[in-house]
């Protein structure tokens, strides 16, 4: 058995505070709103809440641009509100982890104000400054949010690095003063009693010299550069290892090999990472998420199987379909075309993920099977990533037509995940008495928590059972993993084993009935049914109906 840890047995629930619950009528969610909904989360059964950033921020990237790491964004409330939220969460046995965004700050952070003020300011070297090359930026490094990653600052005539928007200058982690300032800030929150950190783009904090060279030419990617491990080991030694907390790094560059370093048992860095391969696999090489390929189940399975087996016994997986940066999974890998398919496929996807090895993350509304939202024009959008990409791909480079780009936005925009939480069928889905900062998904009258919490057949009740099963059946947490049908284009069937117990999960990802598989041979016939998304009385081993999902305990 893998060595036991509380965070291995935990289910995490991600809250995007801006869209969770507004209690003031401002149109923006707040901390008091989260406190008021703690009983909802307790009832669902989650163990840990991850809060997306709640710190002071101009909000260019919805809080991922922080101007004061030790202050609460006044739109969300006060420090007293935070302290109360933490106390009330702990009182219910729920832990709280915060988003640590330290690859960059906001350009409004006082550190940056100092750094840009003159070439000899003591904080100059806290950010990454370079001369231009022949009247242009130092090199061709590109921002994740389109355009050059370099911005000329008129005050001193040099360029600063920003891997994200121009309002998010990158910190210079090579400077030990920066690292120590970050560690101090982390201790400040840990002293308050928080239970860990989700670490934003942590695989980009260490930049290879060649990414920063004043060459005018191509630059190496700063994501996943090996030097990051040294910084994380230092952070672990100086801060993380001193408390019993959980840490998860956002690492879009992670491979199984690098994850063994980031989150290996012996590596003394983080507890786990968010890998991105299963999010990137249907994206186009050139246009990324704005032009996706047709869904291909064997391709998805290959990736997940590799992570399941590659980390087993050596490191720990995180499991996620959704977060604030991804479209809604039921619209992406499932089917939201009609109510029946939505409910079935949302449950099947939940089952598929929660029966795997690793710590599952639920993103707010996923437990209701919330869907993508209509994004018909740029006016419906709020995300800076969309506006930048539109400007570059449609207006400047004319690589995509308006229609192509809008189709990409509809399918993949982050705004799909950021619409307000659908609490009930009243005005604005019960999210706010004011005007929500982003429109509520119009389907809130049929898809909402009030309807689902009382319905034993709802997606919500299904998620609740999935979470409960994890608490009762150790093989779900600690078992190994084997794909039983790696090549099947419709069905994902896998087995988990631990100390003579075996668990079988069977998931039909297709909207078709499958009747040519021998489910008995997989072990379904002699198994004890744990959970299924069709009525147990109607299950047999000769067929799987559209989006059918089941899990069995096989002795």
How far apart, in Å, do the first and last CA atoms of the chain sit? 18
Closer to ligand GLC at the Cβ: 29 or 479? 29
Closer to ligand GLC at the Cβ: 247 or 448? 247
Closer to ligand GLC at the Cβ: 388 or 533? 388
Q: Which of the residues 56, 170, 200, 305 is marked catalytic?
A: 200
Contact residues for 91 (Cβ-Cβ < 8 A; gap 6+): none
To ligand GLC, the closest distance from the beta carbon of 345 in angstroms equals 25
Q: Which of the residues 170, 195, 250, 336 is marked catalytic?
A: 250
| Cβ atoms < 10 Å from Cβ of 390 | 21
Residues numbered 310-349 forming contacts with ligand GLC, rule: CB under 6 A:
324-325
Which residue in the set 30, 47, 170, 200 belongs to the binding site for ligand GLC (CB under 6 A)? Answer: 200
Residues numbered 129-148 forming contacts with ligand GLC, rule: CB under 6 A:
none
Distance from C-alpha of 21 to C-alpha of 416, rounded to nearest angstrom? 17
221, 253 contact by CB (below 8 A): yes
439, 445 contact by CB (below 8 A): no
Contact residues for 368 (Cβ-Cβ < 8 A; gap 6+): 422, 447, 448, 449, 452, 458, 459, 460
To ligand GLC, the closest distance from the beta carbon of 146 in angstroms equals 13
Distance from C-alpha of 103 to C-alpha of 112, rounded to nearest angstrom? 13
Closer to ligand GLC at the Cβ: 333 or 363? 363
Which residue in the set 61, 81, 107, 415 belongs to the binding site for ligand GLC (CB under 6 A)? Answer: 61
Closer to ligand GLC at the Cβ: 164 or 437? 164
Cβ-closest residue to ligand GLC?
64
To ligand GLC, the closest distance from the beta carbon of 198 in angstroms equals 9
Binding residues for ligand GLC, rule CB under 6 A, total: 9
Closer to ligand GLC at the Cβ: 73 or 357? 73
To ligand GLC, the closest distance from the beta carbon of 251 in angstroms equals 10
Nearest CA among 431, 360, 100 for reference residue 247: 100
Under rule CB under 6 A, residue 47 binds ligand GLC: no
Under rule CB under 6 A, residue 164 binds ligand GLC: yes
Under rule CB under 6 A, residue 274 binds ligand GLC: no
Residues numbered 219-258 forming contacts with ligand GLC, rule: CB under 6 A:
250
Under rule CB under 6 A, residue 64 binds ligand GLC: yes
Distance from C-alpha of 352 to C-alpha of 524, rounded to nearest angstrom? 16
Which residue in the set 51, 85, 102, 201 belongs to the binding site for ligand GLC (CB under 6 A)? Answer: 201
Which residue in the set 101, 194, 469, 507 belongs to the binding site for ligand GLC (CB under 6 A)? Answer: 101
To ligand GLC, the closest distance from the beta carbon of 69 in angstroms equals 14
257 catalytic per annotation: no
Q: What are phi and psi of 396, to 5 degrees?
A: -80, -55
Under rule CB under 6 A, residue 383 binds ligand GLC: no
Nearest CA among 453, 445, 415, 452 for reference residue 429: 445
Closer to ligand GLC at the Cβ: 205 or 335? 205
Closer to ligand GLC at the Cβ: 63 or 408? 63
To ligand GLC, the closest distance from the beta carbon of 28 in angstroms equals 17
512 catalytic per annotation: no
Distance from C-alpha of 348 to C-alpha of 546, rounded to nearest angstrom? 10
* Angle, helix 176-192 to helix 228-238, in steps of 10 degrees: 40
To ligand GLC, the closest distance from the beta carbon of 237 in angstroms equals 25
Q: CA angle 299-302-307, nearest 5°?
A: 135
Which bin fits 90, alpha (ψ -120 to 50), beta or left (φ > 0)?
Answer: alpha
Q: What is the 3-state secondary structure (H, E, C) of 172-216?
A: CCCCHHHHHHHHHHHHHHHHHCCCEEEECCHHHCCCCHHHHCCCC
Nearest CA among 434, 415, 382, 419 for reference residue 27: 434
Q: Would you please indicate which residues are annotated as catalytic (active-site) residues?
A: 200, 250
Contact residues toward ligand GLC (CB under 6 A) are: 61, 64, 101, 164, 200-201, 250, 324-325
């Amino acid at each position: 058995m893998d060595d036991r840890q509380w965070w291995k047995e935990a289910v995490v629930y991600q809250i995007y505070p801006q869209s969770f619950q507004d209690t003031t009528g401002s149109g923006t969610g707040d901390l008091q709103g989260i406190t008021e909904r703690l009983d909802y989360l307790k009832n669902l059964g989650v163990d840990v809440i991850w809060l997306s950033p709640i710190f002071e921020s101009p909000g260019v990237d919805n809080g991922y641009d922080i101007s004061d790491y030790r202050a609460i964004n006044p739109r969300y409330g006060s420090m007293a509100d935070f302290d109360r939220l933490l106390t009330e969460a702990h009182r219910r046995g729920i832990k709280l982890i915060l988003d640590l965004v330290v690859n960059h700050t906001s350009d409004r952070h006082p550190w940056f104000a100092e750094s840009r003020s003159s070439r000899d300011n003591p904080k100059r070297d806290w950010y990454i400054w370079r001369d231009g090359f022949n009247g242009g930026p130092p090199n061709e490094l590109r921002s994740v949010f389109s355009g050059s990653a370099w911005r000329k600052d008129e005050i001193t005539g040099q360029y600063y690095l920003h891997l994200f928007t121009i309002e998010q200058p990158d910190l210079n982690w090579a400077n030990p003063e920066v690292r120590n300032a970050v560690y101090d800030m982390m201790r400040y929150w840990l002293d308050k009693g928080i239970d860990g950190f989700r670490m934003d783009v942590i695989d980009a904090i260490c930049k290879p010299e060649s990414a920063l060279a004043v060459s005018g030419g191509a630059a190496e990617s700063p994501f996943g550069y090996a030097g990051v491990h040294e910084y994380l080991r230092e952070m672990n030694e100086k801060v993380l290892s001193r408390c019993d907390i959980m840490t998860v790094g956002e690492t879009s560059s992670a491979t199984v090999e690098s994850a063994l370093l980031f989150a290996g048992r012996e590596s003394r860095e983080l507890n786990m990472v968010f890998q991105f391969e299963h999010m990137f696999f249907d994206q186009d090489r050139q246009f990324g998420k704005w032009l996706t390929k047709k869904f291909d189940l064997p391709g998805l399975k290959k990736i997940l199987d590799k992570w399941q087996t590659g980390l087993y016994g050596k490191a720990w997986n995180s499991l996620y379909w959704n977060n604030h940066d991804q479209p809604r999974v039921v619209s992406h890998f499932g089917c939201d075309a009609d109510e029946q398919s939505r409910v079935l496929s949302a449950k099947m996807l939940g089952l598929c993920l929660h029966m795997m090895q690793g710590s599952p993350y639920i993103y707010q509304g996923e437990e209701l099977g919330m869907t993508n939202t209509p994004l018909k024009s740029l006016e419906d959008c709020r995300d800076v990533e969309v506006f930048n990409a539109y400007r570059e791909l449609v207006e400047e480079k004319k690589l995509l037509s308006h229609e192509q780009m809008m189709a990409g936005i509809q399918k993949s925009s982050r705004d799909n995940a950021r619409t307000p939480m659908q609490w009930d069928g009243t005005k604005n889905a019960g999210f706010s008495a004011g005007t929500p900062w982003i429109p509520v998904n119009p389907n809130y009258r049929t898809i909402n928590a009030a309807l689902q919490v009382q319905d034993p057949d709802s997606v919500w009740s299904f998620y609740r059972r999935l979470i409960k099963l994890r608490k009762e059946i150790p093989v779900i947490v600690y078992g190994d993993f084997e794909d039983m049908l790696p090549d099947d284009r419709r069905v994902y069937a896998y087995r988990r084993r631990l100390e003579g117990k075996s668990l079988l999960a069977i998931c039909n990802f297709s909207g078709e009935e499958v009747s040519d598989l021998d489910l008995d041979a997989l072990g379904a016939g002699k198994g004890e049914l744990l959970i299924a998304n069709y009525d147990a009385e109607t299950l047999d081993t000769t067929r799987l109906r559209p989006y059918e999902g089941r899990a069995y305990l096989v002795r």
